[in-house]
Copies of this chain bind each other. A is one copy, B any other.
Amino acid sequence: MIFDPRGWCALVLSLFAATASAAEGMWTLDNLPLAQLKAKYGFEPDAKWVDHVMKASVRLADGCSGSFVSKDGLVLTNAHCVLSCVQDLSGKKDWVNDGFVARKREEEVACPTMELNRLEQITDVTDQIRAATAGKQGEDYVDAKQAAQAKLESDCTGKDAAHTRCDVVELYDGGKFDLYRYHRFQDVRLVFWPEYRAAFFGGDPDNFSFPRYNLDMGMLRAYENGKPAKVKDFFPLNPAGAKPGELTMVTGHPGSTDRQLTMAQLEGLRDYRLIDMALYMAERRAMLAQYSRIGAEAARQAQTDLTFTANSLKVYRGQLEALHDPAVFARKQQDEQALRAAAASDAPWEAVAQAERVRRNHYIRYMMLERRQAFYSDEFRIARELVRHADEMAKPNASRLPEYQDSALPRIEQRVMSKAPIYPEYEKAKLTWSLTKLREAVGPDDPLVMLVLGKESPAQLAAELVDHSELADLSVRKKLWNGGAAAIAASKDPFIELARAVDAPSRAVRKTMEADVDGPEERAAEEIAKVRFDKYGTSVYPDATFTLRLSYGEVKGWDEDGHEVAPYTQMEGAFARQTGSDPFLLPKSWNAAKDKLDLSTPFDFVTTNDIIGGNSGSPVINRDAQIVGLAFDGNQHSFGGAYWFDERLNRCVAVHPAAIAEALSKIYDAGALLKEMEGR
């Protein structure tokens, strides 16, 4: 799954790409590669087309993409993008495994923490940021930039934070700053989710591979004022799909790419960061898998976390392997040498190398504390958000941590006030494990471990926290949210106390990372960007930033060690692949409907579109802005896509619209939804 796990994605760095190869590129909608589209496919989109496509595309705030597919706010995305919602809602009924179809509007159920963003406008604010930061250095520079951004965002949002979200997006390493204004939807309801077995057929073994047989499809509906949102721009479904060689475009929100990192940064990733992340995820997967073996209920509790943990592990391992490919490294080295030769000095590269040395010294503590690796718990997350909310709201908007500024606040509140259930034993298992990781990472004599564990073992502390906390109670959270600093200071809730206790060291290490690593690296990247501009010109795209991008390509298989991989699979393949046991077992509904299905229906397919984590749920559209696919994954060669795009091998994997139509009409008795999507 090319999900962008924002909570985990420590690898976001905005640098930009030079000399894009054929289908390479994640283009901002105000700078499409018009010449290439015309030359290669004879396609000349006009401004109206671009505006339409922009407004029909949506972003799922938790790390996915999607699109409107009807005038009544129906949204098509991936099943794995709505899984968290389904799990949150599966209190009494096991919708995760039984599936969910709202055949009438009144059966649609609100997702506790889902938020959709529709991009409405892009405004260049480069001059304003430049003016605010002119002549500033070091922390002053960072502060000035953050303040300017916060003001721009706040002015743009106005008093309508409930419906408007504005983000300053830094592109091309600070070569350009754009203000993205979104319409925000926070009442988002679940409409369709196939059974887990259909969505994740082949499970972790098949993840990031092809041939593939997944109905990785989910549907939501945006509501406003208690009614389905009326939208002007949407993509109708075209079950005919796209033919081999036909132009396909993906409009979605790639999370992050690292295609312009310096050698020092790539070495850091290869030599410890990705190893560390892979080890963390490997252990977490094993812990969750073993917890799941307790029984069906435990398995249900851990199912979503397990799915995403396994996915993350595969990504980190794949990226690690990609970085161990001598060819990649040699190419990167060459690129850097060419740039250095063109530069007036090596200073920016040396600054990055120095920042990387600093990062190494603080990395573990940063991951443990600020990225919460030490506190793998929903209640701790909520406690931290409550504690920080109280602290940050005492400051003027521009001085707050970015995630507590006005434009971001509704998202945090939604998460804190989520109705998603909390499972005490599950919380204990996760915390016991992650507190043990903390002690392992910094050593038992570290003051931080003394502070957190005191005289207790991880298991004892986990049990005490969970047994004595009242944060599972929404009304308690509400009081703490509304009560501000006084309520937080007075709270005896052990999770609040813990979050308070580790807040200072956590903020400290974040500050160090921002001031001494990210700051210097951003400024160095700006300088390198200038060298690159001078050398390669401007027909380039910026690294991914979880903002709307268009990539173009076509339906096309690839050559795997001399064996041609065909671009389409058919539904019959899924039945042939069944073994009778998970994850190679189709749901009952599929086996029951088998005789009714046209088994030659195309199921999944691959294209040359350049996508990455965050693009999950992106529409694959044709030049008529019709949906001809639903992107959900990359093939096994896509891991290297974080660092470079290899058009020969890297493929986007998508659900074919014919399979969507066949499944909705013949398996799920959801003809009405299909009709709505087809605009009939």
- Which residues of A are in contact with B by a Cβ distance under 8 Å? 202, 204-206, 209, 271-272, 275, 278-279, 282-287, 289-291, 293-294, 317, 320-321, 324, 429, 432-433, 436, 439-440, 443-444, 453-457, 459-460, 579-584
- Can you report 5 A-B residue pairs in the complex whose CB atoms are below 8 A from each other? A202-B444, A205-B444, A206-B444, A284-B286, A293-B429
Most central of A317, A433, A444, A459 by chain B CB within 10 Å: A444
Q: From A291, which residue of chain B is reached at the shortest CB distance?
A: B290
Do B433 and A289 have beta carbons less than 8 Å apart?
yes
Top 8 A-B pairs, shortest CB-CB distance: A290-B290, A286-B286, A457-B581, A283-B286, A205-B444, A455-B579, A286-B287, A455-B580
Q: Given that A455-B579, A579-B455 are known contacts, is A443 also in contact with B205, CB under 8 Å in the complex?
A: yes
Inter-chain contacts of A454 with B (CB < 8 A): 579
Given A283-B283, A286-B283, A324-B272, check contact A582 B293 (CB 8 Å): no
- Give the distance in Å from the alpha carbon of A600 to the alpha carbon of B583 in the complex: 60
Distance in Å: Cβ of A320 to nearest Cβ of chain B:
7
Kindly state the separation between the CA atoms of A210 and B290 in the bound complex, as whole angstroms: 33
Chain B residues within 8 Å of A279, by CB? 278-279, 282, 317
Minimum CB–CB distance from A202 to chain B (whole Å) comes to: 7
Q: Complex: how many Å from CA A282 to CA B433? A: 12
Report whether A289 and B289 are in contact in the complex, using a CB–CB cutoff of 8 Å: no
Known contacts A320-B275, A457-B582; is A290 also within 8 Å of B282 by CB?
Answer: no
Which B residue sits closest to A459, measured CB to CB? B293
CB neighbours (8 Å) of A433 from chain B are 286, 289-290
Bound Cα distance from A284 to B460, whole angstroms? 23
Q: How far is the CB of A52 from chain B (nearest CB, A)?
A: 42
| A453 vs B293: C-alpha distance when bound (angstroms) | 19
Cβ–Cβ < 8 Å partners of A443 in chain B = 205, 209
Shortest distance between the CB of A580 and any CB in chain B (Å):
5
Nearest-Cβ distance from residue A561 to partner chain B, whole angstroms: 12
* A271 and B324 contacting across the interface, CB-CB below 8 Å: yes
Q: Are B579 and A456 in contact (CB under 8 A)?
A: yes
Q: How far is the CA of A506 from the CA of B456 in the complex (A)?
A: 46
Residues from chain B with Cβ under 8 Å of A206 in the complex: 444
Chain B residues with CB under 8 Å of A580's CB are: 455-456
Cα A199 to Cα B278 with chains together (Å): 32
| Complexed CA–CA distance, A278 and B433 (Å) | 18
Task: State how many angstroms separate the Cβ of A289 from the closest Cβ of chain B.
Answer: 7
Give Cα A440–Cα B311 distance, bound, in whole angstroms. Answer: 12
